Amino acid sequence: MTVSTPIVAGTSYYTLKASDKQSFDLAVKFYQEIVGLQVKNTEDDQLFLHSGQEFPLNSVTIELKLDNQFKQPERKELKDEKLTQDWRSLRSNVVFKTDSIELLYENLKNHPNVQVQAYPSNLAPTEVYALDPIGNLIGFTSLKHPLSTVPPKYKKIDPELLTAPTTSAELETTGSFEQRRNIAVMTSGGDAPGMNACVRAVVRAAIYRGCKAYAVYEGYEGLVKGGPKYIREMDWQSVRGWLSEGGTNIGTARCKEFREREGRLLGAQHLIEAGIDALIVCGGDGSLTGADLFRQEWPSLIQELFDTNRITKEKFDKHKHLNICGTVGSIDNDMSSTDSTIGAYSSLARICQAIDYIDATANSHSRAFVVEVMGRHCGWLALMAGIATSADYILIPEKPAHSKEWEDQMCDIVEKHRSRGKRKTIVIVAEGAIAADLTPITSKDVLKVLVDRLGLDTRITTLGHVQRGGTAVAHDRMLATLQGVEAVKAVLESTPETPSPMIGIIENKICRRPLMEAVKLTKQVAEAIEAKDFKKAIGLRDSEFVEHLQNFISMNSADHNEPDLPKDKRLKIGIINVGAPAGGMNSAVYAMATYCMSRGHTPYAIHNGFTGLARHESVRSINWLDIEGWASRGGSDIGTNRSTPEEADIGLVAYYLEKYQFDGLVIVGGFEAFVSLNQLERARNDYPAFRIPLVLVPATISNNVPGTEYSLGADTCLNSLMEYCDIVKQSASSTRGRTFVVEVQGGNSGYIATFAQLICGAQASYVPEEGISLEQLDLDISSLKQSFTISEGAAKSGKLILKSANASKVLTTEVIADIITDEAQGRFDAKTAIPGHVQQGALPSPIDRTRAARLAVKAIQFIEDKQEFTQPIHYSESFDPNDTEISDTAAILGVKRSHLRFSPIRQVYDFETSLHTRMPKIVHWEPVRDVADALVGRTKVTKK
């Protein structure tokens, strides 16, 4: 039996075994002299061969191993089959693509001891099959589709991350064979959803780059204990199906021994014995601190091992340096220098789901609930859950108050909410919540205050380890996968002088940060809290944390306290939804309205889009109680449609905006909202009503709004689609031998299909930006055949192919499924699955809820800031629409790489938009396609 890894992004890597030295030597001779591979490296009982310039196989690497326990296939049976059976119907252990099929065939048929078959004829072969000396059936093909003998051109992809999102040039191949390293991955500390996705990414990215991948089981304990039980080599199939599994399959454990030098000495010895020279650790600040200390001590550790004869001189010379990289797995999101950690948003999703459920019973009985969430030193979970569920009060360690103060504050807010008709009360307590004197504040303390001072029927819900459970949400799968791939790249690029990197994310960009600098900042927060320097503790948190905290305080006060602004600064602000419904629209309206109230502005909802305004004058001021609970509701409660102002009657739109004397307008929506903003800005010369600050908050599942890399609703859509695909994939696995072709929404944007492929592990995704070529479809079907052959009878073997609805008008979802079924010739089949509007989601995801709040507040602040430019020119006859300061008052609020920015609509519409495709000219997520394809072993055909 041959252990093989399928073709990975144009690269084939196979491990073949021989049972004795004679067979081993014959195999080396066969692959050198006949196939044309070159010996690149030799080790004990194993040898590596790689394709060279003179023989153009497509990046082939073969590892030959001498294994006395291996049972070699009987060659006699295969020889006999040559006489009676077409070898194309047999399972080929190895399949190579080649541009020199004729030369290969000549080499094979002229060798007297090699059995060979050629198809369709010996004169013009396009497929050749041969038996190697150790009993493997080897296939060679030059086919690009069944009716052609022209060899295809392949795209060699490199799993680059979002380091250059504006272009997707042809990228380099996997690198030279001499740079091969043995990379180990380990999970440590508390488990977090998404750790399995990180391990999967590290393993496959390492194999793709020509390295060996290892997993250290049971965290640092496995490192200390060592041996094949704890340090195992991983192949491509070892991590199949791990994306949809929670926790960590390679285990994690606390280890006291590793905290001592003797334990780290054992860990170093075991890594060296396994041949490992790079270690990627996924864990919290304690785990990453241990990893960096391990690297700092490495020179002295290996010197001691050599001096005590525990390692040889050869191994000492070979392992002088250990490269370390950290990816942060922590549900608390307590690591500085990154916006989110692996598992944090999954944990937040569990909390929000629980509170959404609690809301119903709290409302039914007019009860108060005290919900305790994790967060010993960090209140991120409590803060974000407070925003996402519009909780009445939160208690977090970063912002304590004296006992009397927090009790008075909480009771004051709860009483005001209740007096305005709210029937339920939700108070969220972080487990590390403290008073100003560092006295812990427990759930029981909060319950006692609510009962004794307000007389509320109160219950406590402690979520505990439920917050760690379940599969990872879409964001964590994406984050863990991209960080894992970047971590492999980082250790390969590191030098002995390079500080250990930590992989993080800022807004929308994967980035590297010095590991110890991030850990130092993280620990300073706990130290500041311990020293009762709470202002410093808040300052040390990332700016986004501080921003969210200020927003929560503002929104939570709404119209209950005296407004922040004097009367002459208070504004009338209109809010309108345009386009298809998207998760987060209601959250944005709620956040805008409550923030407006806290400032003293009057928020107005324009119902049913511009059509509702023009036809029915559907303008209503917003009452706090009417929108209570909207932060966690899906869809659009103020209504939405796709009509632009010009389609609805732009003159009437101007009339009503003037009638209500709006000082600013916020548009929430997708591409139609984008076009609407442009129409209003262009019409300012004719209609003074539009000479007010105009801002677009992008919201569409397609994520195709120019001027931003993220739109509200996209994450909700991805989560809905991910859950759907997980279920469909489970069905496919249960049936064995089945592929589902899933039709994905997104218009002319392939964003949803691409990221769904990344987070679901689909074999391929077809997107409008690329279309579907017959060559590519043929390659993907060939890959499916190989995948089903390799995983025959195994669990988790269901396959998915994702197709954007607009990827092809001819090759529809049903047609693709029929072609796959026909080409499979009974070995497997394909079914269609069309989730349709299920993809819009029900309740918005926590990411869309909290981002909606952040963007909403930013939008209102934009309107406030731009009053100085718009008020003087509102009725001015000398109005100049080309004045930059004036044109900049109509803008799109969006995420651009690592920044949140306002982009003038005129600039974006004129220079950054492809109007006929309703897309940005630059596809910022294009490099992610390469990563998604590489991690499932997909080969791409380049366009001629």
736 labelled binding-site residue: no
Q: Which residues pair with 328 in a beta bridge?
A: 283
608 labelled binding-site residue: no
255 labelled binding-site residue: yes
579 labelled binding-site residue: no
459 labelled binding-site residue: yes
Distance from the first to the final alpha carbon of the chain: 39
374 labelled binding-site residue: yes
837 labelled binding-site residue: yes
User: What is the β-pairing status of strands 127-131 and 116-119?
Assistant: antiparallel
839 labelled binding-site residue: yes
100-124 b/e with 16+ CB inside 10 Å = b? bbeebbebbbeeeebbbbbbeeeee
179 labelled binding-site residue: no
Q: How far is CA 427 from CA 389, 452, 462, 842, in A?
A: 10, 16, 12, 25
745 labelled binding-site residue: yes
Q: How far is it, in rounded angstroms, from Cα 944 to Cα 942?
A: 6
366 labelled binding-site residue: no
Q: How far is it, in rounded angstroms, from Cα 642 to Cα 925?
A: 26
The H-assigned helical ranges of 140-260 are 195-208, 219-225
Contact between residue 329 and residue 194 where contact means Cβ atoms under 8 Å apart:
yes
SS3 per-residue string spanning 142-160 = CCCCCCCCCCCCEECCCCC
Residues 6+ apart with CB under 8 A from 325: 278, 279, 280, 281, 487, 490, 491, 494, 500, 501, 502, 503, 515
- Kindly state the tokens that stand for 708: 């931003």
386 labelled binding-site residue: no
Q: How far is it, in rounded angstroms, from Cα 936 to Cα 924?
A: 21
564 labelled binding-site residue: no
702 labelled binding-site residue: yes
Cα 706 from chain centre = 21
791 labelled binding-site residue: no
467 labelled binding-site residue: yes
Provide the 8-state DSSP code for 517: H
- Kindly state the tokens that stand for 51: 């394709």
Q: Which helix (H) or strand (E) holds 668?
A: strand 664-669
- Kindly state the tokens that stand for 907: 């600039």
- Beta strands of 270-407 (E only): which ranges? 278-283, 323-328, 368-373, 393-395
Q: How far is it, in rounded angstroms, from Cα 799 to Cα 523?
A: 44
Sign of CA dihedral 82, 88, 91, 96: positive
Contact between residue 211 and residue 180 where contact means Cβ atoms under 8 Å apart:
yes
Asked if 332 is an active-site residue, the reply is: yes
669 labelled binding-site residue: no
Q: Count CB neighbours of 824 within 10 A.
A: 18
367 labelled binding-site residue: yes
198 labelled binding-site residue: no
Closest by CA to 394, choosing from 414, 377, 366, is: 414
746 labelled binding-site residue: yes
340 labelled binding-site residue: no
> Locate tokens 């606390």: which residue?
254
Q: Which of 132, 277, 292, 332 is catalytic?
A: 332
Q: How far is CA 440 from CA 200, 238, 369, 461, 640, in A?
A: 40, 45, 19, 18, 47
704 labelled binding-site residue: yes
Residues 6+ apart with CB under 8 A from 759: 197, 243, 474, 477, 478, 481, 718, 722
Q: Count CB neighbours of 806 within 10 A.
A: 19
586 labelled binding-site residue: no
At 186 the three-state DSSP class reads strand
156 labelled binding-site residue: no
Sheet holding 127-131, edge to edge: 94-97, 137-141, 127-131, 116-119
Q: How far is it, in rounded angstroms, from Cα 201 to Cα 490?
A: 13
Binding-site residues for ATP, in ranges, read 190, 254-255, 284-287
Binding-site residues, in ranges, read 190, 254-255, 284-287, 330-332, 367, 374-376, 431, 459, 465-468, 642, 700-704, 738, 745-747, 831, 837-840, 918
Binding-site residues for Mg(2+), in ranges, read 285
Catalytic residue positions, numbered? 332
Binding-site residues for beta-D-fructose 2,6-bisphosphate, in ranges, read 642, 700-704, 738, 745-747, 831, 837-840, 918
Binding-site residues for substrate, in ranges, read 330-332, 367, 374-376, 431, 459, 465-468
